[in-house]
Amino acid sequence: MGNFLSWMLPPGASTFVGDIDWIYYLILVVTGVAFFAVEIALVVFLVKYRKRPGGKATYVHGSTRAEIIWTSVTAVVVVVIGLLSAPAWDKIKGREGVPPNAMPIGIAAKQFEWNITYPGADGKLGTTDDFTVRGQLHVPVDKPTVATLTSVDAIHSFFVPSFRIKQDAVPGMHIRVWFQPTKVGEYELGCAELCGLGHYRMRAIVTVHTQEDYDRWVAQQAHAVAQR
């Protein structure tokens, strides 16, 4: 439990960890400094300027200089945070940000399951060797994957905490979301947008394979589809 009261982010497994986590730690430091400065000043003032018999409060109405200082310092700090954050946003969510070599998959969210369509051996969606698997997202490691996300009913939200990626799946829209896993292993995909009674169990397993394992898995699935 002690571990979970820490301010560290849990380990991640995609390239976005490098793009996003440092922004968090930067903001943590900046807001941490502001937090301690304000709260310590508050407590010090409360103790130091508590009512004393015969004491008189200082009759002042403010200080234009102080107003200018704290207004401009705050404005500069937040704008810098914004400017530092903007490139990561463009890279992850920008329409130009999707790597051209990304492997395409299709994800159709539905109450309360994730249906994932793979391109098969030809690497292209919309061809006859596509196949669809429910509740299992398989991707190769160290290679970008781009999912075209949609929903057939309510709004859902595609969320893989270890990949630091989240994108709503909206009925009637086809939203592209990409990520590049960096570690082989199993992760969890959850729904982050209230979507009905089964929202809490709209879960899927994400398996990150080596390229060879991934190809083997695709071949297996293709075989199973052919036998159906």
18 binds other proteins (CB under 8 A): no
Q: Does 134 bind other proteins (CB under 8 A)?
A: no
SS (H, E, C) 207-225: EEECHHHHHHHHHHHHHHH
Nearer to other proteins, 3 or 227 (CB): 3
**Angle at Cα 99 formed by Cα 153 and Cα 92, nearest 5°?**
60
Count, residues near other proteins per rule CB under 8 A = 89
Smallest distance from other proteins to CB 122, Å: 28
Q: Which of residues 168-227 bind other proteins (CB under 8 A)?
A: 168, 170-173, 175, 188, 190-201, 203
What is the token pair recorded at 99?
Answer: 């790597």
By beta-carbon proximity to other proteins, the closer residue of 93 and 222 is 93
Shortest Cβ 188–other proteins spacing (Å): 5
- Helix, strand, or coil (residue 52): coil
Q: Does 40 sit near other proteins (CB under 8 A)?
A: no
Does position 88 bind other proteins by CB under 8 A?
yes
How far are the Cα atoms of 43, 103, 104 from residue 211, in angstroms, in the given order? 58, 12, 15
Q: How far is CA 129 from CA 66, 118, 122, 162, 219, in A?
A: 68, 9, 8, 30, 11
111 counts as binding other proteins under rule CB under 8 A: yes
- Give the nearest distance from C-beta 60 to other proteins in angstroms: 7
